[in-house]
Amino acid sequence: MNPSLDLFGSTQTLYDDSKSRCDESAREPGGGGINVARNLLRMGDTALAIFPAGGVNGDLLRQLMKENRAAFRSPDIAAETRQSVIITEKSSKKMYHLVFPGPDLQESEWQECLAVVKTIEPAPEFLVLSGSMPDGVPSDFFGQLAAHAASKRIKVVLDTSEPSLRPCLEAGVYLAKLNRAEFAELGFSTDGDHQSLMDGMQSLVGEGAAEILIVTLGSRGAALISKDGEKLHFTPPPTEIVSHVGAGDAFVSALVHQLHGGNSVREAFRYGVAAAATAIQTPGNQLYDLDLLEEVYKNTVNGFKY
């Protein structure tokens, strides 16, 4: 619901008192759902991205999606689609990701997006609800979609933050992926020991928030608990960070790809952890190197490591 035009660049040194001249390395469609759809397409799946777009940035976003041969439906909005700027400082090897809030949607605009999802035929197996929510969109927007999906037996995969996170979990979803900050927003802590983390996750699953709950832990990998009693943790191999943009979306992409292909929750989860570790090793916001993914997957191990 809050896509962006992602502009990637680099400069030798960022200055605070003069111009920092940059080289542009890429201009890509961005935003959680868009990133996931493009990754799934690269993996050989059929995916439809749904997003509102407006203004010059919105037109360019749609054009880039067409060039990528990515299927999409994109209702028009009056406001300008946002642009995000990602700059790498070569001297320090630090990346700066500048994210702007996005447009203010009118009720008729977000209602049109809601209608697009509800009228997709045939109903998809999975509905990925991903990314932040722009101003004007109610906090229960994803929750409304989750309720609709449940009535159609569509499996919802959720990857969002507050204020959209809680209403959606209250509606109940098939799978929810939270990072440490999002888990903390729900009143839990990821700073304690293994057992306290799992206890907090178990309580959410027990309340019906998600059939499968994943909490990502950065370099410590990720933990999973399911209503079927699975308790898993996978840790990726040590990885040099080139770009953290889209790592969480890569996780969701590989996870959904494996589940859609009939793989087990355990293996899909392992691929998700490996995909995030793969994505951060390459520039841009996509999971480009699928051969590298297989190598990282082989070295992604089960068990907590601190």
> For residue 189, is pLDDT > 80?
no
The answer to whether position 233 is within a domain reads yes
Q: In which band, very low, low, confident or very high, does the pLDDT at 196 lie, cut at 50, 70 and 90?
A: confident
Of 83, 74, 131, 117, nearest in space to 103 by CA: 83
The answer to whether position 73 is within a domain reads yes
The answer to whether position 248 is within a domain reads yes
Question: Between 229 and 196, whose confidence is greater?
Answer: 229
The answer to whether position 213 is within a domain reads yes
Residue 249 annotated to the active site:
yes
The answer to whether position 17 is within a domain reads no
The CA-CA-CA angle for residues 288, 221, 95, to 5°, reads 55
CA gap 183, 172 in Å, rounded: 16
Q: How far is CA 283 from CA 59, 139, 146, 202, in A?
A: 24, 32, 33, 36
The answer to whether position 216 is within a domain reads yes
Which whole number is the average pLDDT over 224-235? 94
Q: Dump the DSSP string for 103-141.
A: -B--HHHHHHHHHHHHT-SSPPSEEEEES---BTS-TTH
Look up residue 236 and give its DSSP letter.
P
> For residue 306, is pLDDT > 70?
no
Report pLDDT digits (tens) over 93-114: 888 999 988 899 999 999 999 9
Taking each helix axis as running N to C, give the angle between helix 141-151 and helix 107-118, from 0 to 180 degrees, rounded to the nearest 10: 20
CA gap 173, 261 in Å, rounded: 20
Which whole number is the average pLDDT over 282-291? 86
Bond prior to 163 in cis (omega within 30° of 0): yes
Report pLDDT digits (tens) over 247-269: 999 999 999 999 999 999 999 99
Report pLDDT digits (tens) over 8-57: 899 999 998 999 999 888 899 999 999 999 999 999 999 999 999 999 99
Question: Between 239 and 203, whose confidence is greater?
Answer: 203
The CATH number linked to 184 is 3.40.1190.20
| Structural domain range at position 56 | 31-81+104-302
Look up residue 154 and give its DSSP letter.
P
Which whole number is the average pLDDT over 140-168? 93
Distance between alpha carbon 151 and the CA centroid of its chain, in Å? 24
- Select which of 16, 135, 249, 291 is catalytic: 249
Determine the pLDDT at residue 304: 54
The answer to whether position 95 is within a domain reads no
The answer to whether position 88 is within a domain reads no
Query: 84: helix, coil or strand?
Result: strand
**How many structural domains comprise the chain?**
1
